[in-house]
Each structure stands twice: as C-alpha cells, then as structure tokens.
Amino acid sequence: MLKHRLKELFASYKARLAVTIISIRVNGPWAFDWGWHQLTLTPKKGGSPIITERKRIAKAAVAKREEGVFQRYSQTEMNFLTVTNGLKLPVSGLAKKTPLNALTGPTVASAARDTLRRVYRKSEIKVSQSASLGQDGWQGQCRIQGVEYSYRVSSQPANEHPRI
C-alpha cells in the first residue's frame, strides 16, 4: 500500500528534501542530532509547490560509538521518551532487551530524568519518581523550566500528537 502511494506521489510531483542539523550532542557512547527537514513537492504538470517543514528534535538520529566509530543505531533496539511539550527522544539507560513491564517506576523515572538532562540543564528538570505502567508504556509527570508536563516511556516513538 505504501509503495503504491509513493509511486503515485513521485509520478505526479518532483520532490526535494532539505535536511538541516542544528545540534549534535554526544553523551558517552551515544550521539544525537536535532534540526528540521523541509520537503518541497512541485507538481510536474505545473502549479505552486507544496512545502512542509518539520522539526527533527522529535525524531533524533541516533548513533552508538562502537570501537571508536559512531554507527547508526536501530530504533527497534531502544525505548522512547515522549513529553507532552512535543519532545521525543530515545531513552538513556533502558535496554530494549529488558521488557518495559519488568522495570520499576523509579527506574523509568530516573531514565526519563537523565534523558531530559541531555536537552535541558539539570536545574531545569524535575521528574516525579511515581511513574506508573499503563497499556502504552510507563507514564509520569515532570517539570521542565517550571512548567508541568506528562511523559510516556514506550518501545515505540509516539505519533506527532501524543495522547498521554
């Protein structure tokens, strides 16, 4: 189905993707990049182009240093933190091999706090230690720069507009 839709799209439009990286952070053996991408679809039969731009902080590219070289890391091998302020990141310190339901609330909350500290200063982050396991993963509360948010830790990145 997707293949068919893409075939139709590229038959009708000329596509141009511009990727902008504004920051790369290295945290131990991990590297993350943030930025945005702009997709321009120009109709082949003429007409105004369609331009979309999306921030990539939610879809950080992830690499892991192995033997001194950074290698792209599979998203199927990690868990994700999604905050209601729109932030989505791979979680620090939670191995994918450990099922989420085998973890404890304090373990998940500590991992959420450590992950948020990659983006914000330590003094700007406060994470409640009372995360609870729900159907979609672990859920809890955090305070970022004085504002209260909900967060979720799950094995899949959330959609563009998460329901937490």
107-161: pLDDT as tens digits? 899 889 988 887 788 888 899 988 899 888 899 999 998 999 999 998 765 553 3
- How long, in residues, is the chain? 164
CB 163 within 8 A of CB 154: no
Q: Is the pLDDT score of 11 beyond 60?
A: yes
Please state, in angstroms and rounded to a whole number, the distance separating the CA atoms of residues 73 and 130.
Answer: 30
DSSP string computed for 55-84: ESGGG-EEEEEETTEEEE--GGGS-EEEET
Q: Is the pLDDT score of 55 beyond 70?
A: no
Please state, in angstroms and rounded to a whole number, the distance separating the CA atoms of residues 118 and 103.
Answer: 22
CB 157 within 8 A of CB 88: yes
